[in-house]
Structure 1
């Protein structure tokens, strides 16, 4: 008997020691729960289109802190029905749920069901890393027990509903409700609550913006779970499932615009607070541009070996960017060919040569020779143009005659004055310091080229392109750093340039851009071996720039600026006006 007693004592001592060592092993790096309850996150940036519709978000998006009493009962009800029906009765761990999950998984031969309670999920989300191993599961259980001892069931639900990650950078039901449905959490409908309740299982897979069909299927499962739990009838579940419709996604490829407006946020809005930015983007116009460019590249563009394109729509009066497409597919290539790619503009640069000549005293009626020209062994060609001898500056621009362009540049004082004029209008590029500049051998971006044309459209004012119209941070309106339009050329010269650009479309190389009932101006551009094709046009208050080409600068099949780019411009203007 004494020997048995000693054995029991030894077992208790060594068992206690082993238990102590196990607790040390599982808890030595356990986070301090009180400190972890304090939310830490990245500042969020919310971008809205010009009409207030959500465009994009980044960072960690939090809404208002919600109280359980302020929410419809079906919001927490839907969550408990699909995630933890015995939440109100268990102590943080659910032995029945664990046993059921174990049997189900054993029968299936794989893990198809989990046994974690809402409290365990909360512990994992608040305190632990996503790492999955036995040690983390034990820590999760310990923290769940601590949470249950520290908070009431209603408090735990509130913490969960305010802190759970629900996809697309949204934390908490209020942020998610505003993001996905445009309403605060207290105003969500039953079917909307079902979709939100279905997100914790896989926020990315069931994201209503990225995967609306999957989100609706998951929401339907939640409604069925609510019916099975007796929270709603089966008939009500079917009715709500039939109501499930998700708003259309924001413009598919507006990512280029979103990236562009966020490039200088740190300088424009210093600090680390949340930002809500109303942008200049017109979603309807953006959708038109995307659709038209994709159709062109999929059809005639593909046949002509043009694999990429970019389109930019600028409001001429002040520089607001209304639409921006930087390529064929943002998901495949986020590189922005509208703002970053520098390409030779070809004859689309000639208007700056002509403007320089006007400022030197010439006029649209002044004459220039189109005969062959030789400058130190360099002889620019005129393609299929048959020389006439003398013609007006207006006609020379309308027909984009290269020898005349070189002579106009020389009459205007050479390459340096022309480059200075282009810079003055907002075209920042790498300018050659020889007569070839007249033919567009500079390297510019589509954004800069369109900006330069804005002065021809608005009466002589240089504009600075911008994408943010209004900003709020920490609940107050912030000053948006905008540059006011500045006069850089006389109204008279701007009017003369506008009339000559109209002639390009009415009787010159840009005739394919003509739109019935509208006075259209613009200029075509084609580079050597058909590597780049441009059209920059003016339609009413808009300046619209189009570029087509290939990323590797390989030649297209005789694609000229007066062809596909001009036709794309026309298609866009006609649909905008329709």
Structure 2
């Protein structure tokens, strides 16, 4: 049987195995074209090259674009290398020597082909092998020629990261991707380089981008270890994947990765590849790059890493989200131990050095994770930063006004009250904001659970304020000559067709403005508004910071217009401070790369023009708590405020001031359904009372110098000193009259531990290495312990010895054991007293905490 002649190719030439297809390049420039034009348009083939190089260049266009894409990341020299590689490929495909080699190869195979024809099974095997080889070659060429310019990735600008610090300078939250500073090869700490090579790519300095031997070895070691002990891909392959290719697990991507890795190894020295890998790797917690990871987890630059810290970082790159030490410290330490063993096996360190590092494992020296409740505040900060400096190109650090102690108190009092009464009173949501009289936001709770809803009910929710709006009516009247003792008549009142009613349907006759405001009498407020004029009331509200729509309607006097909790609280802050207006703020300073981008001016609010009216208004606000609807908000210091309740109890508010704090509280339901008879004077006032009592005590304890003496109206009151961090035997607090030590000993003369403890489990605390077991609580670990830890963080706990070696501890005057059992955070143990057993039974009946199931 005669062989079939080759199929004619372009220009009548036979098509052989070197012809890769595609349009053939003209043999000469077209008439009228500039000399050399055809060479430029087909990849710059040198004069004298055959026309068979053009189809190859066309097929390799995808590889050329890929080369240009990755070349842009690694510099001009590399891009030049790509161009040369492409030109070389083109020349090689069309060179006469290549064609002669192909012909010689075909001649060499003719005897084998003849033998195969005589032995049928050998012919089948040879054909199968040839087919497989051909398919593999074809697929490789396909993978290269289909490389997109960006590897299939959509490259988008990454927003700069935001590191958020509290008023005391403590970093407590981050937003965005932290990339940090880029290390140069000589700045990479040797201990980190050795750790990465040992665990990820032991033959990094021996291979040329692909390590088949290492891949097989890693498979056997991982199978023997029962887990991922050693990586299979080389560091070069991982760098190509991170920098250019997508994460698709396909054969085509693997082929592309292998070829690009070989090319990259030919262009860059090993130390440069390793450095670029460390600068690009993800280490968890939104952190990219070794230096940023060292700062995030250990509070130091990469060059200062210890052996145990370097081992921990090296162990993260395989599973950063799962092993990130701010969430899984035990897992990160276990992986670090594997890295140390690998370093011993490779000879990077001695066995003794590894054992010493294992005995002193790395410790995370920065906050473990963003406290969940602070996310509402951090959202507000992020919005403020964008408004102040826009979206900057570099990571920024912002110093805020947040007092973490007050934030913890705010979260706890809201949660406790809603857990206790929310279901029964049909209340599903609550919000609280605390600020200094100058507008500095000290605490913000935007909702019951940020994980369930990121909607901020302090800044975003617009609800009817009810009687809170009477502040503007009465202040307008005082500005127009009325006095707190001026008399009005509480009687049925009608404005047009509208006839407002008092709560409870009662009328009191002649009453003073003080009494009418304290008892929130609606008819008097409407009469006053009509007397002074609704436009004047609106003007007063605007001057105090209300920006929401305010319709010129008689019902505005009773709070029919919607506003936010932050707006109404800032208005009360201005009145409390005797200021013209107060601007709420959460940002004090913004820094980026050691440069100050913004600093808030240290200016006090402008004093109000009519101080007599403001003084009269303070009289009325004080009467609310002293004798009116705000009795539940009474505290041990002079205070003033106002309750607000809307129709059908859809909204309940209490806003007031005491000491150097102005605090607003709102309760309600997001779907605007009615609550079960909740008024501003009960649950909101109780929450306000609990928060203010604990907050003032905490601030007095933290500010033992001038800061502790700051009073209402002084901006300095917004700053607070950090709460105690470690436990100690309490210093004697001597009664000046008797000279007796009244706090450092209990009645039996035993020492009392005080401090902010770590939580081992919900029944065990750790005071700086001293373990304390709580009386009556069988502790739980896991989520319950983490929640208790967040609750106790930076809060002062006092523990006195009890029977059986246990301790009875108190927090803000409450028994801690009872608090834990009441909230379903543990089970009563054998030594539980009757009051603790009753607390557990209450939690069980209410299906709280562990009893929810």
- Give yes or no for TM over 0.5: yes
1:165 to 282, 290, 314: 282
**Which residue of the partner structure matches residue 498 of structure 2?**
378
Cα distance change on mapping 1:454 and 1:244 into 2, 3 Å: closer
| Alpha-carbon distance in 2 for matches of 1:190, 1:574 | 48
Cα distance change on mapping 1:162 and 1:542 into 2, 3 Å: same
What are the within-5 Å matches in structure 2 for residues 279-294 of structure 1? 279-294=400-415
Cα distance change on mapping 1:219 and 1:411 into 2, 3 Å: farther
| Alpha-carbon distance in 2 for matches of 1:372, 1:58 | 56
Greater CA deviation, 204-213 or 9-18? 9-18
Q: Secondary structure at the match of 2:590?
A: strand
Q: Secondary structure at the match of 1:322?
A: strand
Query: What is the CA-CA distance between 1:218 and the residue it aligns to?
Result: 3.8
Is the contact between residue 250 and residue 283 of structure 1 (CA under 8 Å) also seen in structure 2? Answer: no
Is the contact between residue 174 and residue 370 of structure 2 (CA under 8 Å) also seen in structure 1? Answer: no
| Alpha-carbon distance in 1 for matches of 2:474, 2:516 | 10
Alignment: residue pair count: 572
| Alpha-carbon distance in 2 for matches of 1:9, 1:257 | 79
Cα distance change on mapping 1:251 and 1:565 into 2, 3 Å: same
What are the within-5 Å matches in structure 2 for residues 484-523 of structure 1? 485-487=605-607, 489-516=609-636, 518-523=637-642
What are the within-5 Å matches in structure 2 for residues 248-327 of structure 1? 248-263=368-383, 265-270=385-390, 272-274=392-394, 275-317=396-438, 319-327=439-447
| Alpha-carbon distance in 2 for matches of 1:412, 1:264 | 37
Q: Does 1:531 align with 2:628?
A: no
1:348 to 456, 468, 478: 468
Cα distance change on mapping 1:385 and 1:2 into 2, 3 Å: closer
Q: What are the superposed Cα offsets for residues 13-39 of structure 1, whole Å, 9 maximum, x if unpaired?
A: 999987775443222354789xx9x99
**Which residue of the partner structure matches residue 92 of structure 1?**
209
Cα distance change on mapping 1:460 and 1:558 into 2, 3 Å: same
Greater CA deviation, 55-64 or 119-128? 55-64
Cα distance change on mapping 1:243 and 1:199 into 2, 3 Å: closer
Query: What is the CA-CA distance between 1:184 and the residue it aligns to?
Result: 1.6
| Alpha-carbon distance in 2 for matches of 1:283, 1:108 | 44
**Which residue of the partner structure matches residue 264 of structure 2?**
147
Aligned-CA RMSD value: 3.4
| Alpha-carbon distance in 2 for matches of 1:244, 1:340 | 36
Q: What are the superposed Cα offsets for residues 441-470 of structure 1, whole Å, 9 maximum, x if unpaired?
A: 110000100111111111123122222211
Greater CA deviation, 481-490 or 292-301? 481-490
Q: What are the superposed Cα offsets for residues 484-506 of structure 1, whole Å, 9 maximum, x if unpaired?
A: 63455522222221222111111
**Which residue of the partner structure matches residue 273 of structure 2?**
156
**Which residue of the partner structure matches residue 63 of structure 1?**
180
Is the contact between residue 273 and residue 474 of structure 1 (CA under 8 Å) also seen in structure 2? Answer: no
Is the contact between residue 429 and residue 444 of structure 1 (CA under 8 Å) also seen in structure 2? Answer: yes
| Alpha-carbon distance in 2 for matches of 1:242, 1:24 | 48
Q: Does 1:419 align with 2:534?
A: no
Q: Does 1:402 align with 2:522?
A: yes
Is the contact between residue 289 and residue 325 of structure 1 (CA under 8 Å) also seen in structure 2? Answer: yes
Is the contact between residue 424 and residue 488 of structure 1 (CA under 8 Å) also seen in structure 2? Answer: no
Query: What is the CA-CA distance between 1:112 and the residue it aligns to?
Result: 9.4
What are the within-5 Å matches in structure 2 for residues 153-232 of structure 1? 153-212=270-329, 214-226=331-343, 229=346, 231=349, 232=351
Query: What is the CA-CA distance between 1:187 and the residue it aligns to?
Result: 2.4
**Which residue of the partner structure matches residue 170 of structure 2?**
53
Cα distance change on mapping 1:105 and 1:379 into 2, 3 Å: same
What are the within-5 Å matches in structure 2 for residues 87-126 of structure 1? 87-103=204-220, 114-126=231-243
| Alpha-carbon distance in 2 for matches of 1:460, 1:39 | 47
**Which residue of the partner structure matches residue 595 of structure 2?**
476
**Which residue of the partner structure matches residue 458 of structure 2?**
338
Cα distance change on mapping 1:8 and 1:138 into 2, 3 Å: farther
| Alpha-carbon distance in 2 for matches of 1:99, 1:457 | 74
Q: Does 1:82 align with 2:202?
A: no
Is the contact between residue 578 and residue 608 of structure 2 (CA under 8 Å) also seen in structure 1? Answer: no
**Which residue of the partner structure matches residue 7 of structure 1?**
110
1:456 to 575, 578, 584: 575
Greater CA deviation, 60-69 or 455-464? 60-69
Q: What are the superposed Cα offsets for residues 542-576 of structure 1, whole Å, 9 maximum, x if unpaired?
A: 21111111100111121111111111112112222
| Alpha-carbon distance in 2 for matches of 1:489, 1:174 | 54
Q: What are the superposed Cα offsets for residues 84-143 of structure 1, whole Å, 9 maximum, x if unpaired?
A: 233333332222232134457889999997511222111211121112211111121222
**Which residue of the partner structure matches residue 27 of structure 1?**
144
2:358 to 238, 242, 247: 238
Q: What are the superposed Cα offsets for residues 177-232 of structure 1, whole Å, 9 maximum, x if unpaired?
A: 22233222222333333332222122222333455554444445444544555535
**Which residue of the partner structure matches residue 586 of structure 2?**
467
Greater CA deviation, 177-186 or 526-535? 177-186
Is the contact between residue 224 and residue 237 of structure 1 (CA under 8 Å) also seen in structure 2? Answer: no
**Which residue of the partner structure matches residue 441 of structure 1?**
560
**Which residue of the partner structure matches residue 826 of structure 2?**
none
Q: Secondary structure at the match of 2:373?
A: coil
Gaps of 5+ in 1: none
User: What TM-score results when the alignment is normalised by the length of structure 2?
Assistant: 0.62
| Alpha-carbon distance in 1 for matches of 2:111, 2:495 | 109
| Alpha-carbon distance in 2 for matches of 1:434, 1:143 | 72
| Alpha-carbon distance in 2 for matches of 1:216, 1:332 | 32
| Alpha-carbon distance in 2 for matches of 1:450, 1:571 | 18
Q: Secondary structure at the match of 2:322?
A: coil
Bigger relative contact order, structure 1 or 2 (CA pairs below 8 A, ≥6 apart): 1
Cα distance change on mapping 1:227 and 1:458 into 2, 3 Å: farther
Q: Secondary structure at the match of 1:309?
A: strand
Greater CA deviation, 476-485 or 566-575? 476-485
Cα distance change on mapping 1:22 and 1:2 into 2, 3 Å: closer
Greater CA deviation, 251-260 or 331-340? 251-260
User: What TM-score results when the alignment is normalised by the length of structure 1?
Assistant: 0.89
1:364 to 471, 484, 496: 484
